[in-house]
Amino acid sequence: MPDIVWSVAGFIVAISVLVCFHEFGHYWVARTLGVKVLRFSLGFGTPFKTFVARDGVEWSIAPLPIGGYVKMLDEREGPVAPHERHLAFNNQSLAKRAAIVAAGPVFNFMLAIALYWLVFVIGTEGLKPLIAQPPAGSVAASAGLQAGDEIVAVDGEVVQTWAVLGTDLIERVLDGGNLPLTVQSKGGVPREVSLDVSKVRVDPEVLFDDLGLSPYEPMAPPVLTQILKGSPAEAAGLQEGDRVLSLDGAAINSPSQLVSWVRAHPGAIAEIEIDRGGERSKRRVVLETTQTEGKAYGRLGSGVATPPDLWQDLRAERRLDSLAAIPAAAEQTWRMSWLTLRMLGRMVIGDVSVKNVSGPIQIAQVAGDSARVGLVSFLSFMAIVSVSLGVLNLLPVPVLDGGHLLLFAIEGVKGRPLSERAMAASQYLGFAFIGTLMVLAFYNDIMRLI
């Protein structure tokens, strides 16, 4: 299946489920509290499918799957018959209106817990948190960490895979100070190591570079895959299955070494030594130069891999029984929610680059990639996005659920709603914020594609 089909299908499925849950939260609580619901729409635009239920609620599907809405009876949006005034949203108590508005984000968090529960019960596979040789001068190198060391615990909390370790490290770097690790060398006894993370940048783009931590790779010549037409690799006569042994005399012992060498030599004329079917040969390759954010990088024009059996001893699995998975899923949802909020705060003060903001294009790509990997990967992706939707919708920005809750809080303090003029002004500000955020997200998406 083509990549674009995976991306579009994954995006539509994920967003449809997440939006449905969010809006169903508003719908269910509104109906439970006695508010009349007129329409439940999945997507925006002119509906292409509409169904009117026996209770009079209009269910519709619209062509733009980037959101949805629940329309309730409200005197501010149209005339309401006298006998139905008690069913209108605007005539409900402050507590009921707040509950209806908050239900959307709450249902997103509930969905995230359910998704994480499934992930933990099914089980997740990943790489053991073994590290590659830290670069000289890095925080990890200064602490004495070596290639092949396994990080078995962070501040006393056991870690089983690199994915778990990555989240733990980001959280602890945000705290600053010293980071205690429990490390074990192959065949050795665990030892305690402390990393000074006070000067480590919290931006995920550079955080792991500053720490000097990256996954360990088995020592094995990389194997070329997917030779692109018109690429330097094709011009040099390279073929899929060729094992790269060296570049300009420098031994290449892993895919990352090959990638790093090529990227560091834009436009270079290099001698590449390969093994093809047991026969060694040398070829001349002229690397291309590509530009990314103003920096020049080399390009060979091929994929790279290692024999899959080399990774068997580095795999780890995390699986919980159905009962143990409940508190674990709730804790994971809370941790990801708090981490998302903290990263947004650091983005506001400039510690984290706004380049980390992703839009529909990037989300679709990640959705497609996770769907191709498998069910657990796709469920994990949906859980993360559901958490993000819950957190973002609770931000105190007019037009978002959090903005409505803020206005309700002001109403509670003042004893009356804001004036129509103030409400309109807040709406304009909210739309301006959302519009600016969407432009930034699309810009970042396009720049990543370029």
Q: How confident is the model at residue 113 (pLDDT cuts 50, 70, 90)?
A: very high
Q: 347 lies in a domain?
A: no
Q: Please check the confidence at residue 293 and state whether its pLDDT lies above 60.
A: no
Q: How confident is the model at residue 450 (pLDDT cuts 50, 70, 90)?
A: low
Convert the pLDDT of each residue in 129-175 to its tens digit: 888 888 888 888 888 888 888 898 988 888 888 888 888 888 888 88
Q: 283 lies in a domain?
A: yes
Which position has the token pair 């103003």? 294
Range of the domain at 18: 3-33+92-118+383-449
Q: Please check the confidence at residue 354 and state whether its pLDDT lies above 80.
A: no
Residue 200 and residue 129 share a domain? yes
Residue 19 and residue 98 share a domain? yes
Which position has the token pair 């931000």? 395
Q: Are 403 and 426 contacting, i.e. CB atoms less than 8 angstroms apart?
A: yes
Q: Please check the confidence at residue 33 and state whether its pLDDT lies above 90.
A: yes
Convert the pLDDT of each residue in 294-349 to its tens digit: 678 888 988 888 666 666 777 888 889 999 999 999 999 999 999 989 888 888 88
Q: How confident is the model at residue 3 (pLDDT cuts 50, 70, 90)?
A: low
Q: How many domains does the chain have?
A: 3
From CA 164, how far away is CA 327, in angstroms rounded? 16
Residue 252 and residue 160 share a domain? no
Name the more confident of 189 and 354.
189
Other CB atoms within 10 A of residue 395 CB: 15
Q: 71 lies in a domain?
A: no
From CA 421, how far away is CA 405, in angstroms rounded? 18
Residue 133 and residue 99 share a domain? no
Convert the pLDDT of each residue in 224-252 to its tens digit: 988 888 899 999 999 998 999 999 988 88
Question: Of 291, 318, 345, which marks where a domain is finished?
Answer: 318
Q: How confident is the model at residue 107 (pLDDT cuts 50, 70, 90)?
A: very high
Q: 182 lies in a domain?
A: yes
Q: How confident is the model at residue 203 (pLDDT cuts 50, 70, 90)?
A: confident
From CA 304, how far away is CA 101, in angstroms rounded? 50
Torsion of CA 44, 48, 53, 59, to 10 degrees: -10
Q: Please check the confidence at residue 102 and state whether its pLDDT lies above 60.
A: yes
Q: How confident is the model at residue 23 (pLDDT cuts 50, 70, 90)?
A: very high
Q: Which tokens sit at 409?
A: 């809080």
Q: 148 lies in a domain?
A: yes
Q: Which pLDDT value is given to residue 253?
A: 84
Q: How confident is the model at residue 448 (pLDDT cuts 50, 70, 90)?
A: low
Convert the pLDDT of each residue in 49-63 to its tens digit: 888 888 888 888 887
Mean pLDDT of 259-283: 90
Residue 113 and residue 128 share a domain? no
Residue 252 and residue 191 share a domain? no
Q: Which pLDDT value is given to residue 28?
A: 95
Mean pLDDT of 405-432: 85
Which CATH number is 288's domain given? Answer: 2.30.42.10
Instruction: For residue 15, give the H/E element and its range.
Output: helix 3-32
Q: Please check the confidence at residue 362 and state whether its pLDDT lies above 80.
A: no
Residue 208 and residue 227 share a domain? no
What distance, in Å, lies between the first and last C-alpha atoms of the chain? 23
Q: How confident is the model at residue 2 (pLDDT cuts 50, 70, 90)?
A: low
Q: What positions carry a catalytic annotation?
A: 23
Q: 374 lies in a domain?
A: no
Residue 203 and residue 151 share a domain? yes
Question: Of 244, 271, 305, which marks where a domain is finished?
Answer: 305
